């Protein structure tokens, strides 16, 4: 088994107290290492366990009937449960897949149930985690609905920078962002070609550079201003510095 990476107290896990986090990790079944692009679960599959992302990026995807149009409806970063909503719902309305190689801590629903029975407050914290997830969904809907391409991309990258902050070993003013331009388009409701042009504009404006899976932030204030970015929707835990 030998979990190469154990769950770390980071990202959304910081909404739990340290004690609650340790109590949760005690219930973990195993850590799985999953290849890039692997589909973890598909729409309508019955699920009996939930997965905590320890390393790597994952996405949640909605595809239409024909299967030709696919959209990224959520991006999960280390410290996120990727399918905790399957605990109350049992089946999901979307697919879950790895963007890159991922390490996933497995929690059986039966074990989560037992844990919540002995710590009701932790149960409500887990509920709150799924509600922050929903807040992010609303923000995504707003972003796609109300913002133009340039603003969308700047806003999206501002969000990702904050959510990945703890996962990043800082390299100057850059952060890891392994989504391809096509995947960025799937997330922001834009064609690959247009994403490419917007990124050129942002680069030529000395705002940011996306290259080789890294975003180099040339002017953070500008990036967040261009993106009309307000991190409220992320419900940042108190002990994490934002902005």
Per CB under 8 A, residues contacting a second copy are 43-44, 60, 62, 64-65, 69, 71, 73-74, 85, 87-89, 93-94, 116-117, 120, 123-125, 127-128, 130-135, 137-142, 144-146, 188-189, 228, 230, 232-233, 235
Mark residues 41-80: x for contact with DNA by CB under 7 A, - for none. ----------------------------------------
The rounded distance, in Å, linking the Cα atoms of 55 and 5 is 7
Question: In this complex, which beta carbon is closest to DNA, that of residue 20 or of residue 63?
Answer: 63
Residue 199 near DNA by CB under 7 A: yes
Phi, psi of 90 (to 5 degrees): 75, -35
Least Cβ distance, residue 187 to a second copy (angstroms): 9
Among 171, 182, 221, 242, binds DNA (CB under 7 A): 182
The rounded distance, in Å, linking the Cα atoms of 14 and 129 is 10
The rounded distance, in Å, linking the Cα atoms of 116 and 134 is 21
Least Cβ distance, residue 1 to a second copy (angstroms): 30
Residue 123 near DNA by CB under 7 A: no
Long-range CB pairs of 175-181, under 8 A, 24+ apart, other chains included: 175/214, 175/215, 175/217, 176/213, 176/214, 177/210, 177/213, 177/214, 177/215, 178/57, 178/99, 178/100, 178/213, 179/57, 179/75, 179/99, 181/210
Residue 160 near DNA by CB under 7 A: no
CA angle 63, 128, 35 (to 5 degrees): 45
> What are the distances in angstroms from CA 54 to CA 57, 127, 157?
9, 20, 21
Question: In this complex, which beta carbon is closest to DNA, that of residue 185 or of residue 227?
Answer: 185
44 binds, among DNA, a second copy, none (CB under 5 to 8 A by kind): a second copy
Residue 180 near DNA by CB under 7 A: yes
The rounded distance, in Å, linking the Cα atoms of 183 and 124 is 33
Q: Other CB atoms closer than 10 Å to residue 41's CB: what's the count?
A: 20
Question: In this complex, which beta carbon is closest to DNA, that of residue 148 or of residue 170?
Answer: 148
Q: Is the CB of residue 122 less than 8 Å from the CB of residue 24?
A: yes
Residue 197 near DNA by CB under 7 A: yes
The rounded distance, in Å, linking the Cα atoms of 49 and 202 is 41
Least Cβ distance, residue 196 to DNA (angstroms): 4
Among 65, 148, 172, 241, binds DNA (CB under 7 A): 148
Least Cβ distance, residue 136 to a second copy (angstroms): 9
Q: Is the CB of residue 175 less than 8 Å from the CB of residue 132?
A: no
Least Cβ distance, residue 189 to DNA (angstroms): 6
Sites of contact with DNA (CB under 7 A): 148-150, 180-182, 185, 189-194, 196-197, 199-200, 210-211
């Amino acid at each position: 088994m030998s979990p190469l990476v154990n769950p770390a107290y980071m990202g959304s896990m910081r909404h739990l107290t340290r004690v609650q986090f340790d109590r949760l990790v005690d219930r973990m079944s195993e850590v799985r290492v999953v290849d890039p692009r692997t589909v973890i679960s598909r729409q309508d599959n019955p699920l009996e366990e939930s997965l905590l992302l320890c390393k790597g990026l994952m996405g949640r995807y909605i595809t239409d009937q024909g299967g030709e149009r696919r959209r990224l409806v959520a991006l999960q970063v280390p410290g996120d449960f990727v399918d905790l909503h399957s605990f109350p719902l049992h089946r999901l309305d979307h697919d879950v897949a790895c963007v890159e190689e991922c390490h996933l801590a497995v929690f059986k629903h039966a074990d989560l149930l037992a844990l919540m029975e002995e710590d009701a407050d932790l149960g409500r914290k887990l509920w709150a985690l799924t509600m922050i997830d929903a807040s992010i969904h609303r923000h995504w809907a707003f972003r796609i609905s109300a913002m133009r391409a340039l603003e969308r991309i700047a806003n999206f990258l501002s969000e990702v920078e904050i959510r990945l902050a703890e996962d990043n070993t800082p390299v100057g003013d850059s952060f890891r962002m392994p989504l391809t331009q096509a995947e960025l388009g799937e997330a922001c409701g834009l064609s690959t070609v247009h994403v490419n042009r917007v990124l050129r504009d942002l680069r030529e404006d000395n705002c940011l550079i996306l290259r080789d899976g890294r975003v180099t932030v040339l002017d953070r204030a500008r990036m967040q201003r261009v993106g009309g970015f307000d991190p409220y929707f992320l419900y940042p835990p108190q002990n994490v510095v934002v902005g």
